[in-house]
Structure formats: structure tokens, C-alpha cells
Amino acid sequence: MVYIMVLSEVFWTIFLTTMSGFLLKLASMAYKSKCKTCKVCCIEIVRDTETEAEIDELRITTPPVPPPNSPTEINDNYNQL
């Protein structure tokens, strides 16, 4: 009896993990697509793909700014003492 409950918990854990991964991959694929409208049953999604492309381009071309207390600044301040 206990073995069946453990098997059930393992099954549901694997099932939920797989479904979560599937939904995340589906959302990633939907974001990468350049469709402007999507209709599923009675739900309609309209996206502004031009603005999303501009934001993605800015993320790629703009170098990241390190936080003020980054390890390199801490080491530089230490070496100056």
C-alpha cells in the first residue's frame, strides 16, 4: 500500500515537471515567433512585435553595467589601500 503511494508521488512529480517544462518551452517559442495576432478559442492576443524587436536589439548592443559593489571594484579599492 505504501509502495503504491510512493509510486503515485513520483509519477505526479515527473508529470508536473514535464508539463512545466513543456509550457515554458511553448512560451519561449511564442515569444520568438513574430506573429502579431494569436487566437485560441475565445482568447485573442495582439502583440507589438516592432517594439519587442527594438528592445531585443538594445539588449544585444548595449553592454551590461556592473553593479556598484562588484568584485572588481572591491578588489580595485583594496589594492589602492
With respect to residue 40, please indicate whether it lies within any of the assigned structural domains.
yes
With respect to residue 45, please indicate whether it lies within any of the assigned structural domains.
yes
With respect to residue 79, please indicate whether it lies within any of the assigned structural domains.
no
Q: Which residue has the higher pLDDT, 27 or 6?
A: 27
Number of domains in the chain: 1
Residues 23-42: tens digit of each pLDDT: 899 888 877 777 778 787 88
Percentage of the chain lying above the pLDDT 70 cut: 70
Host domain of residue 57: 33-62
Q: Which residue has the higher pLDDT, 64 or 1?
A: 64
Mean pLDDT in the chain? 75
With respect to residue 68, please indicate whether it lies within any of the assigned structural domains.
no
> Which DSSP string do the residues of 1-55 spell out, in sequence order?
-HHHHHHHHHHHHHHHHHHHHHHHHHHHHHHHS--SEEEETTEEEE--HHHHHHH
With respect to residue 57, please indicate whether it lies within any of the assigned structural domains.
yes
With respect to residue 7, please indicate whether it lies within any of the assigned structural domains.
no
With respect to residue 28, please indicate whether it lies within any of the assigned structural domains.
no
With respect to residue 54, please indicate whether it lies within any of the assigned structural domains.
yes
